């Protein structure tokens, strides 16, 4: 069992052991990926260019869009090449880098969703104190904390996996270098790596998730007490849309990483992973922002301006 040097790598299995329609899957993922870039870029540019969108909520949404674009770019190009060629080779270093960025961006996404839920809770349930609580300093601190915590959390897992030994079996039954399949593949002791997933890894998902659930329960209580029913149904519809993407992201995430190792199924993992690696980054801008009147107005103005300048 000699330690793997950085030049010899792995082979990503993709979906080549499953029967499926290659063309249909390729095109579907390509369309979703293009939509992800377009929607998130539109959102980022309208937030930057419209002064009335310079509020805490839109700073968080802008950051979320940057994360969403990068998060899907970490996995989708390799996935598309997997579908085209059957299997895709990846170097050991490439694999670790992919895993680092995947966990880094995934953690930030999880933390940002929680910060945004708390922000909405303060804005809806505590509107009088909202502006003093969410000031510029707090805003920058919360966003920076999310980015730094994401980097440290990812570095920890990536470092531990980089110290594992890999023997003859170099076939990763997945479409990207994810934590669990790499740990499964190792022929050295993986106790520490698994322990880290169940302790620190689960905290990074479950704590933000609890904050979100508590925030939305409190928001729900305030909505029920609202006087006008049109306000109530508007608030209710936007909150239920938020909850839907939140359950899609955290539900699939929790079902993949935090279950007994004996329940491991690469087929289930690959199909369910698609939900949070590809679908959530596309849905976020539509669910959180593009249905919003303020954003629609800002977009319309942007489009008008770009035409009138010609």
Ligand X SMILES: *[C@@H]1O[C@H](CO)[C@@H](O)[C@H](O)[C@H]1NC(C)=O
Tokens 């980089």 map to which residue? 162
Return the number of the residue (119 or 178) whose C-beta is nearest ligand X.
Answer: 119
Task: Give the binding-site size for ligand X (rule: CB under 6 A).
Answer: 9
* Residue 20: Cβ within 10 Å count: 10
264 sits in the region (left: phi over 0; alpha: psi -120 to 50; else beta) called beta
**Window 25-44: residues binding ligand X (CB under 6 A):** 44
Pick the binder of ligand X from 14, 36, 57, 62 (CB under 6 A).
62
CB of 115 to ligand X, least distance (A): 10
Based on the shown chain and the rule CB under 6 A, indicate whether residue 155 belongs to the binding site for ligand X: no
Return the number of the residue (138 or 221) whose C-beta is nearest ligand X.
Answer: 138
3-state helix, strand, coil split of the chain in percent (to 5) is 80, 5, 20
DSSP 8-71: --EEE-TTTTS---HHHHHHHHHHHHHHHHHHHHHHHHHHHH-GGG-SHHHHHHHHHHHHHHHH
Query: Which pairs with CB-CB distance under 8 Å and at least 24 residues apart come from 217-220?
Result: 218/121, 218/125, 219/120, 219/121, 219/124, 219/125
CA dist list (Å): 199 to 11, 34, 107, 204, 206 = 29, 36, 14, 9, 10
Pick the binder of ligand X from 97, 139, 254, 290 (CB under 6 A).
139
Based on the shown chain and the rule CB under 6 A, indicate whether residue 49 belongs to the binding site for ligand X: no
* Part in contact with ligand X (CB under 6 A); list of ranges 136-144, 270-278, 281-289, 291-299: 136-144
Tokens 């707090």 map to which residue? 138
Count of residues for the chain?
310
Based on the shown chain and the rule CB under 6 A, indicate whether residue 106 belongs to the binding site for ligand X: no
* Part in contact with ligand X (CB under 6 A); list of ranges 61-69, 79-87, 123-131, 208-216: 61-69
* Part in contact with ligand X (CB under 6 A); list of ranges 76-84, 138-146, 187-195, 247-255: 138-146
Pick the binder of ligand X from 46, 75, 110, 143 (CB under 6 A).
143
Return the number of the residue (66 or 226) whose C-beta is nearest ligand X.
Answer: 66
Q: How far apart are CA 168 and CA 186, in angstroms?
A: 10
Return the number of the residue (46 or 277) whose C-beta is nearest ligand X.
Answer: 46
Q: How far apart are CA 179 and CA 197, in angstroms?
A: 9
Based on the shown chain and the rule CB under 6 A, indicate whether residue 63 belongs to the binding site for ligand X: yes
* Part in contact with ligand X (CB under 6 A); list of ranges 60-68, 77-85, 102-110, 280-288: 60-68
Pick the binder of ligand X from 4, 25, 35, 66 (CB under 6 A).
66
CB of 57 to ligand X, least distance (A): 11
Residues that bind ligand X (CB under 6 A): 44, 47, 59, 62-63, 66, 139-140, 143
């Amino acid at each position: 069992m000699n330690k793997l040097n950085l030049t010899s790598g792995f082979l990503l299995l993709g979906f080549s052991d499953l029967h499926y329609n290659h063309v249909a899957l390729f095109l579907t993922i390509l369309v979703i990926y293009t939509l992800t870039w377009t929607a998130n870029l539109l959102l980022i540019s309208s937030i930057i260019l419209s002064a009335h969108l310079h509020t805490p909520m839109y700073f968080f949404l802008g950051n979320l869009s940057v994360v969403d674009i990068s998060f899907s770019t970490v996995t989708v190009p390799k996935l598309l090449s997997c579908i085209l060629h059957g299997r895709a080779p990846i170097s050991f270093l490439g694999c670790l880098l992919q895993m680092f960025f995947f966990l880094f961006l995934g953690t930030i996404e999880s933390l940002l969703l929680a910060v945004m839920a708390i922000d909405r809770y303060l804005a809806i349930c505590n509107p009088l104190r909202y502006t003093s609580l969410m000031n510029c300093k707090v805003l920058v601190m919360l966003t920076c904390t999310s980015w730094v915590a994401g980097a440290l959390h990812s570095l920890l897992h990536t470092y531990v996996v980089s110290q594992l030994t890999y023997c003859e079996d170099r076939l990763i039954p997945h479409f990207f270098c994810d934590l669990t399949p790499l740990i499964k593949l190792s022929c050295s002791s993986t106790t520490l790596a698994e322990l880290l997933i169940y302790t620190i890894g689960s905290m990074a998902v479950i704590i933000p998730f609890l904050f979100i659930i508590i925030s939305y329960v409190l928001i729900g209580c305030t909505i029920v007490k609202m006087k006008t029913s049109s306000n109530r149904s508007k608030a209710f519809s936007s909150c239920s849309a938020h909850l839907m993407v939140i359950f899609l992201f955290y539900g699939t995430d929790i079902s993949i990483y935090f279950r007994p190792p004996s329940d491991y199924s690469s087929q289930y993992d690959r199909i369910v992973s698609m939900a949070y690696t590809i679908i959530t980054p596309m849905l976020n801008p539509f669910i959180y922002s593009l249905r919003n009147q303020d954003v629609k107005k800002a977009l319309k103005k942007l489009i008008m301006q770009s035409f009138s300048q010609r």
